[in-house]
Amino acid sequence: MDNQLESVRETLLMGPGPSSVFTEVYQALARPTIGHLDPKFIEIMDGIKTFLQQILRTRNRLTIPISGTGSAGMETSFVNLVETGDDVLILINGVFGKRMQDVASRLGARVDALEFEWGKPVDPDQVKKQLAKKRYKLVAIVHAETSTGVRNPVGEVADLLKDNDALFLVDTVTSLGGIPVEADLWQADAIYSGTQKCLSCPPGLAPLTFSEKAVQKTLQRKTKVPNWYLDLTMIVNYWEGSKRAYHHTAPINMLYGLYQSLFNILTEGLENVFARHRECHLALVASLESSGLEMLVEPEFRLPMLNSVKIPAGVDEAKVRQKLLDDYRIEIGSGLGPLAGKIWRIGVMGHTARLENIKRFTDALNQILS
């Protein structure tokens, strides 16, 4: 019997996620598994909480990783904060705003969707007008829209909500660790992310932080949280206090990996990490444009870690991606929704964000296109 794992080869991951993983994280994942209530493991959990607070720039007590990918972070936020009949406003300009709309609707919320053109940012003026029409229980936005490469003006939307009772929910799955995430400055009530993008850890955990306002909303619900596995009123008892209460068996080795990835980022220094992402983004764009390729998003709204490139006329985009993978061991992403077949999505995330990787990719792409 063949062991299929033996044929897995390293690939330069330059798609929309996952990103390349730190060597130290692979080493951390291979450390011996211990019990999820072992005192040493509790120390590691406490370290993760402290590291996440620094990277999210928050003092929120409830700052933990959820067992599951970034989508589990999204669902955790909604199932704990939304009840049937709640008025919810979702700001949508890509796939992940649409996914928020779906999750909130499944919970019986009365969802208003304020939609914007894919490839363009959310317009705060339109948000202001919508907020004047109705009182919402929750307003949600994606900081870094992975399907388009747009950075949304979260700070400006946050300013609109400072005198508003609505909870403010922000998706930072692609932004955390690549550009500043300011949980406290934005007065965000809930933020979730994922490990597999700019944190350079394999997929499997969803960093999350709740403000005290969000915590109180969860504790004062009229109905039970509908998802047992993601019920923060129970999960928090495992992550806090002198006596840890078992809820579910934690993914121990994945948490080792997250600890190490956060340690690496903080050791390098957050500002240095942001500058590295920016430098690689600018180098990538300069190289692509010098080859005659055109970016989808206007410069002031571009994400450094996710770059959408328009596909030249007459080019079979799928064949180019396949050749990059087969001949050069480089992975990039295709477009989604209305952008399917129209763009490539090129990730410059986390450990992938190195100038040597930008050169390797652009050299390969130029050879294929020529």
Separation of alpha carbons 273 and 198, rounded Å: 10
Predicted pLDDT at 241: 84
pLDDT mean over 286-293: 97
Task: For 241-305, give the DSSP string.
Answer: SSSPPP-S---HHHHHHHHHHHHHHHHH-HHHHHHHHHHHHHHHHHHHHHTT--BSS-GGGB-SS
Let me know whether 137 and 106 are in one domain: yes
Q: Check: CB of residue 211 under 8 Å from CB of residue 235.
A: no
Share of the chain above pLDDT 70, in %: 100
pLDDT per position as a tens digit, 220-250: 999 999 999 999 999 999 999 888 999 999 9
247 shares a domain with 287: no
Please write the tens of the pLDDT for every residue from 80-101.
Answer: 999 999 999 999 999 999 999 9
Give the CATH number for residue 115: 3.40.640.10
CA separation, residue 153 to residues 26, 143, 232 (Å): 35, 7, 29
What pLDDT score was predicted for residue 243?
Answer: 87
CATH of the domain at 345: 3.90.1150.10
Looking at the fold, whether 12 and 81 belong to one and the same domain comes out as no
On whether both 254 and 328 belong to a single domain, the answer is no
115 and 262 fall within a common domain: yes
pLDDT, tens digit, 9 for 90 and up, residues 196-224: 999 999 999 999 999 999 999 999 999 99
Please state the rounded mean pLDDT for residues 322-340.
Answer: 97
User: How many Cβ atoms sit within 10 Å of the Cβ of residue 38?
Assistant: 12
Same domain, residue pair 246 and 328: no
- List the domain range (segments joined by +) for residue 49: 23-266
| Residue 260 and residue 168 in one domain | yes
Q: Say whether both 312 and 211 belong to one domain.
A: no
Nearest Cα to 217, choosing from 83, 81, 85? 81
Same domain, 247 and 282: no
Which residue from 62, 58, 55 is spatially nearest to 267, judged by alpha carbons?
Answer: 55
pLDDT of 7-27, one tens digit each?
Answer: 999 999 999 999 999 999 999
pTM (two decimals): 0.97
At 161, list the tokens.
Answer: 């909500």
Each residue of 42-57: pLDDT tens digit?
A: 999 999 999 999 999 9
Residue range 332-338: average pLDDT?
A: 97
* Over residues 295-320, mean pLDDT: 97
Give the pLDDT confidence score for residue 119 in this predicted structure: 97
Note whether 255 and 296 are same-domain residues. no
Indicate the number of domains in the chain: 2
77 and 212 in a single domain? The answer is yes
| 117: Cβ contacts below 8 Å, ≥ 6 apart | 93
Q: 134-163 pLDDT, tens per residue?
A: 999 999 999 999 999 999 999 999 999 999
Mean pLDDT of 90-118: 98
The residue behind tokens 């909303």 is 217
pLDDT for res 95? 97
DSSP state letter for 220: T
Write the DSSP symbol of residue 176.
Answer: B
Mark which of 236, 266, 296 sits at the end of a domain.
266
